[in-house]
Amino acid sequence: MILESLLVSAPDWAIDHAPVLIPVVPLIMAAMLALSPSGRLSWILSMVATAASFYFALLTLGTVQSTPGGIIEYWIGNWDVIGIEFRVDALNAMILLLVTGMGFLASIFAWTTIAAEVQKQKISLFLSAFLLCFAGLCGVTATGDAFNLFVFLEISSLSTYALVAMGASRDRRALTSAFDYLIMGTLGASFYIIGVGFLYAATGTLNMNELATQLPALSGNRSVQVGFAFIIVGLGLKAAMWPLHQWLPNAYAYSPSFVTMFLAATATKVALYAMIRWLFTIFNPDFAFEQAIFTFILAPLGIAAMVICSFQAVFQTDVRRMLAYSSVAQVGYIILGISIATTAGVAAGLLHLFNHALMKGALFMAIAGICINYKGTTIRDFAGLGRSAPFTMAAFAIAGLSLIGVPLTAGFISKLQLGYALFDHGWWWAVLLVVFSSFLAVLYVGRILQSIFFMPPANPRKTRKEAPLMLLVPLWILALANIYFGIDANFPAGLARDGAIAALGLEAFP
Amino acid sequence: MTPEFLIAAALVLPLIIAAGIAALGKFPNLREGVTIVGSFALLAVVVQLTMMVSAGQRPELFIGEAVPGLAFAFRLEPLGALFAVVASGLWIVNSFYSIGYMRGNRERNQTRFYICFALAICGAMGVAMSGNLFTLFVFYEVLTLSTYPLVAHKGDAAAQRGARIYLLTLLGTSIGFFLTAVMWTWALAGQNLDFVDGGLLAGAAISPVVASALLLLFVFGLGKAALMPFHFWLPNAMVAPTPVSALLHAVAVVKAGVFAVMKISVYIFGVDLMNATPSADFLIIVACVTIVLASLIAMTKDNLKARLAYSTIAQLAYVTLGALLATEAGLMGGSLQIAAHAAGKITLFMCAGAIYVATGLTNVSDMKGLGRKMPIVFIAFFVASLSIIGIPPLAGAWPKYELMQGAVDGSLDWVLAVLVISSLLNIAYLLPIPILALMPLPGTKPPKEFKRPGGAPALTVAAPAFTAALCVLLFFMITPISNFLAPAFEAPGTLIEADLP
């Protein structure tokens, strides 16, 4: 309903060009920010850019939902098949909405935290890098061209390395973790481009839709199969699929808290989207080799992430590292949902992806709020915060409960959907593992919450205050979304279902 | 008023009360006024609903779907009405008692205490009125989470430890087993979770192995039913203030567990499938072991609340046993036990609290001769003990009788022996307490002076006296109650009516 009224009020040019404007506006703004004289001005401009992207993402979603076929085809420069296409269906419209929404919320609170964590003269450049990363992620999601996806992936990755390294003013270990991430991320991107090269050699096209029409005839072709393997490993690295996740815990733990929040809510999500796109739209689960990969590679890896990384999370002492391991575990849930390759499974995975962005976004945002005037992030440092920062920590607790999957929170709905999908597929043993991993989540989230609400402060002389209002507002938007989507999940579940149908190309929902 | 409105009122009233308590936190008298007025209003609503159920109606409320297929739906049937009446009725008594206890003991954070209490009642109402497994699960967890701060109320190391065990056990079992069972039921029943008369899974083609596994998941997943080996949270929860132990850990929380077992037996499995499920026989043995073992452990406990906690574990297993026997008399016995045990056990806990407020004593061995100074409390304790043991004319007699009947109907004669042994054990661990207090052996040292001048606050004495009287009253009200419940077990009252005076 909101979408319809937006569509009615929007000018024609905005609706026509919305898919491409989503990444282009922040891209241009990023270049302008590099010249901006004042940090505060840059912050306002970055908010304007992300808000604009969010607006265009809403328009795109509205157009997709009201178009009969559910697909927007946008040929850049009208070059037709030899040019670059932006292609948006229900699947990436959902991811675009998520990424731009989280980016917008992140940019609102950016000022309060980066003013405390980044040197003054670097703020403009920092925000410029943020917008580049944001534009790259949007581009990866919107594009319909396999090579163009690589370009946007590199735009976002390169700027991410810089952003992570900016944590060095707080903790020097940020530099090594940025370097680690650089090596691993570059490996992933190289694998991806090698894979695309193989496919280009076999088909002679880079357009995803063209690839999808040509590949079924070539499913026995060795270079197609090799290309597939390279692409999945490359994207798996970006998505932090176990055991390719080694870069993630350090990157999350040492980067500036603003960057952690933004990356946790968006970066792995976009890589997962790209994976779904390759697995289901471009390739096809009917290919014999792909079936085997679902059952014997993706499902075991997803389960391993879910169980092993939840275990690792239980034993962490640093809250950010703990939540980082939990993120890898959540990626495991999503991959498990994908690996059963049914509409219900992919829909459950997408719903969990959406909800996970909401909960991790809120958790890391609350941590950012605490870090503004207190640098420690170990569990001991969190002791007693429930009294000195009740509003920040109440939101943290809500998101934590959602992470566990407590009823009346968003996390519960997506885990339940995943469980249903697994039972429908006959994988009851996987349900037991999901449930076991949830129990581990009770343990690690419980450790933090107990410290926050029931322990006396570790160092009472350090001042610790409530986060500023500019942070509390987006934080509580996310926290309340976690509750709202736990009671009435029709909106995200509908998006996820449409997205899954778009990905698998099925008309009916079983 | 429409049934929809009444159900909504029953769920929303506790929330309004909680908000009122929060708003009036600075004015203790007004704050307690909100609790009292609100609890009476809630009982009025629940009684109206119960009248409708008694007239054959089944009040329903459909709020909406979280996602397609997961509906927040409520439907009140006789079992749920019984549980709702018990919980909301005893909440009134317990509210008066809480005021006396919390003020007499000068407890801190009283506002938080009353808020969480109201939220817990909301959870209990939701459980009682739930129309499908999804709704049941949601409110079951609301009940768990809202009672956690109550168990941790004191805030010291022991309270935190007890509360942690409480939360981890209940969340662990419910997420680990109960939720799995819910999802499995969804798959087995063709994407449906509704409570259906005669059993949701009754018509489905389910192999005995699957049915067995599912039943095990359900019964052990409902950790609030405190079936061994998942019983240890209950003694640990006794670190809570006594009003919490009285209403929540003798009535609302634990009864939510056994009530859910009952409901799953009747409305998910159905009597026929229960009887065809092999693991039910195994679980009957587990329940019987729980009854005997918990009673034996209770005898070794000198701390009064710990002894009562183990007694609760044993008595809860009666309800589970009744649900598993799945004969009409067994189910009836289990349901009656929900009400009868509630009245008896809340009395015992309130007495223990009154003793603690007045004297600071917690150990049974220190209470010899105390009955001379606190006669009303110990007489109430005596009456309630007799009811728990199952001696007529007290409420506890009926459920035992029906359960024995149910065991015979199910041709499980050895269960009879277990029930008799259990009664003897009850005598051994309960009766010496009031008897030695009222009639100390010659040579017993006179008990210490009251810690609190003036003894127990009047409210903490009046409340258990009232519920002890209730134990007697319930014995004579058995005909209307069993007639009310009978439709839940299908054959309308033939067998049961014939047995009654």
Query: Residue A329 is encoded by which pair of tokens?
Result: 């575990």
Mean pLDDT of chain B: 85
Give the separation between CA B170 and CA B233, rounded to whole angstroms. 8
User: CA-based angle A480:A484:A485, to the nearest 5?
Assistant: 120
Q: Which residues in chain B have Cβ-Cβ distances shorter than 8 Å to A420?
A: 183, 186-187, 191
Which of A330, A337, A321 lies closest to A356, judged by CA? A330
Determine contact, residues A369/A475, Cβ cutoff 8 Å.
yes
What's the pLDDT at A132? 92
Mean pLDDT throughout A446-464?
76
Write out pLDDT tens, residues A149-205: 999 999 999 999 999 988 877 788 888 888 989 999 999 999 999 999 998 988 888
Please state, in angstroms and as integers, the Cα–Cα distance from residue B332 to each residue in B85, B284, B320, following that order. 17, 16, 12
Write out pLDDT tens, residues A40-94: 888 888 999 999 999 999 888 888 888 887 888 888 877 777 778 888 888 889 9
Mean pLDDT throughout B265-288?
87
H/E stretch holding A25: helix A12-33
Give the separation between CA A238 and CA B54, rounded to whole angstroms. 62
Q: Does residue A311 register a pLDDT over 50?
A: yes
SS3 A87: strand
Which of B256, B232, B250, B238 lies closest to B152, judged by CA? B238
Give the separation between CA B343 and CA B326, rounded to whole angstroms. 24
Q: What is the full DSSP assignment across B359-386? A: H---BGGG-TTGGGTSHHHHHHHHHHHH
Give the separation between CA A149 and CA A193, rounded to whole angstroms. 10
How many residues are present in chain A?
510
Q: Does residue A510 register a pLDDT over 60?
A: no
Nearest CA in chain B to A401: B145
What's the pLDDT at A53? 92
Mean pLDDT throughout A445-456?
82
SS3 A219: coil
Q: Which residues in chain A have Cβ-Cβ distances shorter than 8 Å to B70?
A: 413, 416, 489
Write out pLDDT tens, residues B370-403: 888 888 888 899 999 999 988 888 888 888 888 8
Mean pLDDT throughout A448-453?
83
Query: Residue A58 is encoded by which pair of tokens?
Result: 């809403």
Among the partner-chain residues B67, B141, B167, the one whose CB lies closest to the CB of A407 is: B141
* B107 to chain A, closest Cα gap in Å: 17
How many residues are present in chain B?
501
Neighbours of A508 (CB within 10 A): 6
Interface with chain A: mutation pick from B175, B178, B209, highest number of A CBs within 10 Å: B175
What's the pLDDT at A506? 61
State the alpha helices, DSSP H only, in B3-68: 3-23, 28-54
pTM: 0.84
DSSP code, position A76: G
Among the partner-chain residues B65, B72, B186, the one whose CB lies closest to the CB of A423 is: B186
Please state, in angstroms and as integers, the Cα–Cα distance from residue B355 to each residue in A219, B108, B249, B374, B375, following that order. 80, 20, 18, 8, 11
Inter-chain touch B67–A493, beta carbons under 8 Å: yes
Inter-chain touch B66–A435, beta carbons under 8 Å: no
B155: left (phi over 0), alpha (psi -120 to 50) or beta: left
Which of A422, A342, A358, A424 lies closest to A395, judged by CA? A358
Give the separation between CA A434 and CA A432, rounded to whole angstroms. 5
Q: Find the helix packing angle between A173-203 and A222-239, rounded to 10°.
A: 160
Write out pLDDT tens, residues A482-509: 989 888 888 888 888 888 888 887 644 4
Peptide bond before residue B440 is cis, with ω within 30 degrees of 0: no
Q: Which residues in chain B have Cβ-Cβ distances shorter than 8 Å to A424?
A: 187
SS3 B195: coil
Which of A49, A68, A65 lies closest to A1, judged by CA? A65
Exposure pattern of B254-286 as b/e (b: 16+ CB <10 Å)?
A: bbbbbbbbbbbbbbbbbbebbeebebbeebbeb
What's the pLDDT at B491? 44
Q: Does residue B243 register a pLDDT over 50?
A: yes
Q: Find the helix packing angle between A410-425 and B179-188, rounded to 10°.
A: 50
B386: containing domain: 3-499
CA A301 to chain centre: 19
Give the separation between CA A429 and CA B8, rounded to whole angstroms. 38
Q: Which residues in chain A have Cβ-Cβ distances shorter than 8 Å to B150?
A: none
User: CA-based angle B129:B135:B140, to the nearest 5?
Assistant: 85
Mean pLDDT throughout B149-165?
83
Determine contact, residues B22/B12, Cβ cutoff 8 Å.
no
Among the partner-chain residues B164, B171, B184, the one whose CB lies closest to the CB of A428 is: B184
Lowest mean pLDDT among A141-150, A479-488, B85-94, B408-417: B408-417
Say how many CA atoms lie within 13 Å of B236 toward its Cβ: 22
H/E stretch holding B74: strand B70-75
Give the separation between CA B36 and CA B88, rounded to whole angstroms. 11
Identify the band that residue B495 occupies on the pLDDT scale cut at 50, 70 and 90: very low
Among the partner-chain residues A413, A435, A454, the one whose CB lies closest to the CB of B67 is: A413
A322 touching B (Cβ < 8 Å)? no
Residue type, A43: W
Which of A172, A366, A183 lies closest to A265, judged by CA? A366
Determine contact, residues A191/A231, Cβ cutoff 8 Å.
yes
Write out pLDDT tens, residues B47-82: 988 888 888 888 888 888 877 778 888 988 888 999
Q: Which residues in chain A have Cβ-Cβ distances shorter than 8 Å to B72?
A: 487
Among the partner-chain residues A413, A428, A435, the one whose CB lies closest to the CB of B66 is: A413
Write out pLDDT tens, residues A387-427: 788 888 889 999 999 998 888 888 898 888 898 888 888 88
Among the partner-chain residues A405, A439, A486, the one whose CB lies closest to the CB of B172 is: A439
Query: Residue B333 is encoded by which pair of tokens?
Result: 């016995």
Instruction: Give a three-class secondary structure readout of B312-338.
Output: HHHHHHHHHHHHHHCCHHHHHHHHHHH
Please state, in angstroms and as integers, the Cα–Cα distance from residue A153 to each residue in A148, A351, B137, following that order. 8, 23, 43
Neighbours of A289 (CB within 10 A): 13
* A375 to chain B, closest Cα gap in Å: 28
Inter-chain touch B183–A442, beta carbons under 8 Å: no
| Total of domains in chain B | 1
What's the pLDDT at A465? 76
What's the pLDDT at A151? 93
Determine contact, residues B219/B261, Cβ cutoff 8 Å.
yes
Q: What is the full DSSP assignment across A159-186? A: HHHHHHHGGGGT-THHHHHHHHHHHHHH
Backbone angles phi, psi at A455, to 5 degrees: -110, 150
* A354 to chain B, closest Cα gap in Å: 15
Which of A429, A421, A414, A420 lies closest to A504, judged by CA? A421
Q: Identify the bridge partners of residue B75 per DSSP, sorted by sequence position.
A: B60
Determine contact, residues B470/B339, Cβ cutoff 8 Å.
no
What's the pLDDT at A460? 65
